[in-house]
Structure 1
Amino acid sequence: MPTSFSLLLLFGCLTGVTTVLFGFGGGFVTVPVVYGVLTAAERPGTGADAMHVAVATSAAVMVVNAAVAALVQWRAGRLLRAYVWPLAGFIAAGAAVGSFAATLIGGTALRLLFAAYLLVTIADSLLRKGFLVAAPRTPLKPLGRSTVTAGGFGIGLVAAGLGVGGSVMTVPLLRRRGLPMADATATANPLSVPVALAGTLVYALTPTTTAATGRLGYVDLAAGAALLLGSLPTIAVARRVAGRVPDRVHSAAYVGLLVVVLLIVAVGV
């Protein structure tokens, strides 16, 4: 248990960095880490539910991380409100449906979907123009109606179902409208809050297939607390370098982190 706590604390620090610099909220880091800790420790009642617990705990951690990071970015003047609402409302609706659907999917299938989603995201970022090198920036204008409604619902559906937050879709979306990475990732933080909140509520209230102490529904309270102990102080430190990273380096690092997580997930599948 001390080793598991230290590991979660360490990766909690990493989620703090990814939340501020990449808008992830922690999902791509916390899901494989929590899954690995649960399966390695072989804690009673977690075998069949390990992936569901990992996704649920990731969502709970993201509620706090994304909200705190959004506040930090708002105070720094980096949030683009025109892209936050009403997109956030449709994302929340999709997140509620996606979270419920995830509780009906087996753990192995959920891991495979998680890995497949990572692979598609990486390929899209590398092969389509406008991500690694931003498109020419144009004056801010509202997102199209279909992007806000159907697009927002789809973002919430996939993000909450896989426990990854919405940033992996919202950052490329904003990036291809010509926004610098610093602005795109900053705006992704408040858009991850409805995903995390809807997901956490569904996972916490869903009856689990096995009884286990220290859990609220599928949310592992101890793992979540350890991750937050590491992430929250790191968010306060990471905000000092947000916006100072060269744009090309920032976008390349975003894709690089996704590749690392995909490799980790592939080893565990």
Structure 2
Amino acid sequence: MYLLLFLFGGLAGVTTALFGFGGGFVVVPLLYTLLTVNGVEGPIGLVAMQVAVATSTGVMIVAASLATLRHHRARTLEWRPLWPLVGYIALGAILGATAAMSLHGEWVRWAFILYLAATILDCAFRPGFLARPSRPARTMSKGATAGAGVAIGSVAAFLGVGGSVMTVPLMRRRGAGMAQATAMANPLSLPMALVGTATYVLLAGDRSATLGAWYAGYVDLRAFLVLVVGSWLGIKLVSPLIGRIPDRLHANLYLVLLVIVLVVMLVV
């Protein structure tokens, strides 16, 4: 099990560095599958999706930080458009994590699936994602920035996937290349990951005794440690590719990865 976690942690690092996924699209399906297919019963089996999501947000803190540093060094990261969104994303993360803990795990799973499907259809058929817009969009108003930030933080923390599923299409349609859009997804995932993880740990603190000694709230600490080491290695290995993938190919690969994750979540 832990070898598999290590290998998929490496894959999570790759997707974090190159696609801004924050690792959630790899970690959540993997942990959910391991906790359900392997026949885990009792308290853990009942909250398998919450454990997967909470552990994913914890891994995201480390992975997104490392990927942000790599993008900064590669000069693919533009900081100016990010700052107005940070506080609103953190607020949304509290709302999303709290909502996820109040629902049955199967509801969270189907929310994950439906959101993925909607994102895939939007990216594939609405103009502005696969082909870079010819004109940059106008700067968002304060109201639009607040709404977008809260929505990104809520959805990302609720599903444990980082903000890339919203921030990459958003930045892409505002004229950013895929290298810049995926780079910006990583620092924007950090406030969600920090606040979301704290929420899953603090508000579910009473669950630690029920789930076991290696749990902090809903966070599986052993899985977290193995995934973090794998993510670090994955990010280090693909760092030379940052900013060097052709834009159209980068966008198509992003979409293909979303489809793969959707299929996995439908069949488990």
Q: Give the AA of the match of 2:243.
A: G
Q: How does 1:78-157 map to 2 (within 5 A)?
A: 78-138=76-136, 142-157=139-154
SS of the counterpart of 1:132? coil
- 1:208 corresponding residue in structure 2: 207
Moved over 6 A (4+): none
User: 2:180 aligns to what?
Assistant: 183
For residue 194 of structure 1, what is the aligned residue in structure 2? 191
Gaps of 5+ in 1: none
SS in 1 for 2:207: coil
**Which deviations, in whole Å up to 9, do the C-alpha atoms of 1:140-172 show, x marking residues without a partner?**
964322231111111111110111111110000
Aligned to 2:230: 230
SS in 2 for 1:47: helix
Specify the SS of the correspondent of 2:72.
helix
Residue matched to 1:256: 256
On the 8 A contact 2:36/2:48 being kept in 1, the answer is yes
Equivalent residue, structure 2, for 1:11: 8
What is the identity, as a one-letter code, of the residue corresponding to 1:83?
P
Supply the AA of the counterpart residue of 1:230: G
With 74-83 and 18-27 compared, the bigger mean Cα shift is at 74-83
Contact 2:100 2:158 (8 Å CA) reproduced: yes
Shift of 1:121: 0.4
Contact 1:62 1:192 in 2 (8 A): yes
Deviation at 1:79?
1.3
Instruction: Give the structure 2 partner of residue 165 of structure 1.
Output: 162
Residue 101 of structure 1: how far off its partner (Å):
1.0
Taking the aligned partners of 1:13 and 1:258, their CA distance within structure 2 comes to: 17
Provide the residue aligned with 1:60 in structure 2. 58
Partner of 1:29: 26
CA distance in 2, matches of 1:33, 1:223: 11
**In structure 2, what is the Cα distance between the partners aligned to 1:144 and 1:167?**
21
CA distance in 2 between partners of 1:133 and 1:152 (Å): 24
Matching residue of 1:69: 67
Q: Percent identity?
A: 49
1:29-69 CA-to-partner distances (Å, cap 9, x unmatched) read 10010111122332653110111000000000001100111
Task: Check conservation: 2:71, 2:242, Cα contact below 8 A.
Answer: no
8 A Cα contact 1:137 1:179, kept in partner: no
Q: Which residue in the other structure is 1:247 paired with?
A: 247
TM-score for the superposition, normalised by structure 1: 0.94
1:82·1:142 contact (CA, 8 Å) conserved in 2? no
What is the TM-score with the length of structure 2 in the denominator?
0.95
Deviation digits for residues 97-134 of structure 1 (CA, Å, limit 9, x no counterpart): 11111100101101000000100000000111000001
How many angstroms apart in 2 are the aligned matches of 1:71 and 1:144? 29
Q: Distance in 1 between matches of 2:27 and 2:14?
A: 13
Unaligned segments of structure 2, at least 5 residues: none
For the 8 Å contact 1:125–1:255, the answer to whether it is kept is yes
Q: How many residues align?
A: 264
Give the partner amino acid of 2:239: R
